[in-house]
Amino acid sequence: MPMIARVYVGLKPGVLDPQGRTIANSLNDLGFNEVVDAKQGKVIELRFAESDAGRDAVEARVKEMCEKLLANTVIESYRIELDEE
C-alpha cells in the first residue's frame, strides 16, 4: 500500500523567530489580543512509489532525507509521521 510521510519542521527552542513575531504582531493589530506568541514552521508531505518496504525502513529513509535536505538541523528540529494512503 502506498505510504505518505508528513515531516514537520520547526525552529528549535531559543532560536529567534522573526516570522512568528510578525504573525503575532499582525494578529494583535487586527484586534486578536488574546494571541501572546506565534511560531511558524513547515510541513512537507511526501508521497512514495508502491513498494514492499516496511514502516521502519521508510521511516529511516525519511529521517535521512530530513538530515540531508529537508531540515537545517543546526537551528531546526523535525518530526516524522507516517500514514497509509
User: From CA 23, how far away is CA 37, in angstroms rounded?
Assistant: 9
Q: Which of 38, 52, 49, 46 is nearest to 10 (CA)?
A: 38
Instruction: Summarize as ranges the residues that interact with a second copy (CB under 8 A).
Output: 8, 10, 20, 23-24, 26-27, 30, 32-49, 51, 53, 61, 64-65, 68-70
For residue 78, CA distances in Å to 15, 17, 42 come to 14, 16, 10
Grid coordinates of 38: 506565534
Closer CB to a second copy, 30 or 74, in the complex: 30
Give the shortest CB-41-to-a second copy separation in angstroms.
Answer: 5
Give the shortest CB-12-to-a second copy separation in angstroms.
Answer: 14
Give the shortest CB-75-to-a second copy separation in angstroms.
Answer: 16
Closer CB to a second copy, 31 or 74, in the complex: 31
Closer CB to a second copy, 15 or 32, in the complex: 32
The separation between CA 49 and the C-alpha centre of its own chain, rounded to angstroms, equals 22
